[in-house]
Amino acid sequence: MAFVRPGPIGIDPSPSMDNGTSALINTSSPGINIGPLDSYGHPVNDVKWIEDHWRREEEIKKSFFQVLRDSIINYEVDKRIDSLPINMKNKIRSKKDGVITYVNKRHRALNTIDALVLHSTAGPERKLKRYYDFSVHFVITPSGTIYQLHDESVRCNGSSGFNSRSVAVEFVGHFKQGNGKWNKNNNLRHVPTKQQIESGRSLVKYLKRTLHIKYVLAHAQAANKNCPGPEIWYNVGEWAINNGFSANGTKIAVPGGKSIASIWRDNKWDISNRLLAPNF
């Protein structure tokens, strides 16, 4: 008599049993081929169940990202559009050869975006509506407030040769150059606040989760200017590289810009000891 052990039907497939019988008794429904099962025990060839399952997954994901965004971002897109004259609602600021114009708003597929470009305004903090004309997606003020001015799908025009592939974020302030001094042609003297840095890092993490971006770039890599400057770069861009982003981004440059200078990557710019919360 065969020894009975726990199993699908409680029979021990002894060595003397032929392979066909052994295969049958080791299925949950002997003699019925229901195909492979997913992790929930549902047949993967059940098309309706699969569609319903992924629809629920997408709804959960969308809801989660909505809550995540609302917890860190002040969504100003709708307010911005409502504040514009009718003939400007589908327009966006553009600058070419020093001349400011307004062009029709263009969109791109989200899966074509692989980078976040860091900027500095090189100017003082303004009232919120003064930022509505910026052709960037996000603005981070000294208080750490993140304002979103355009949907991520909008092709903003503030990042020069990176416009088609990137999301742009402006840090409000006029910050130091690589030599440790401020531009003498600008009488403003700012240093990034700990709140700005923390918010910048939160935004980086959010965009990595929602858009799967893999590069953090500086506007200086596409334009000949100190933008955003080494303090923002080291504490947000370099931090991103140390937390999973591709270091190859530092080598990227398009006509008019240069790859990230080694001085920008120097830890003398590190202000982690001033931050409110630990990195994660």
**Given this model, what pLDDT does residue 95 score?**
86
**Given this model, what pLDDT does residue 280 score?**
29
Per residue of the chain (280 residues), give pLDDT as tens.
433 333 333 434 444 445 544 544 444 444 445 556 666 666 666 667 667 767 777 777 778 788 888 889 999 999 999 999 999 999 999 988 889 999 999 999 999 999 999 999 999 999 999 999 999 999 999 999 999 999 999 999 999 999 999 999 999 999 999 999 999 999 999 999 999 999 999 999 999 999 999 999 999 999 999 999 999 999 999 999 999 999 999 999 999 999 999 999 999 999 987 765 443 2
DSSP codes joined into one string, the chain: -PPP-SSSSS----TTS-HHHHHHHTSSSTT-----B-TTS-BTT-HHHHHHHHHHHHHHHHHHHHHHHHHH-EE-HHHHHHTS-GGGTTEEEEEETTEEEEEE--B--GGG--EEEEEE-SS----GGGGTT-SSSEEE-TT--EEE-S-TTB--SSSGGGGGGEEEEEEPS----TTSS--TT--------HHHHHHHHHHHHHHHHHH---EEEEGGGTSSS--S-HHHIIIIIIHHHTTTS-GGGGG---TT--PPPGGGG-GGG--GGG-SS---
pTM of the model: 0.79
**Given this model, what pLDDT does residue 229 score?**
97
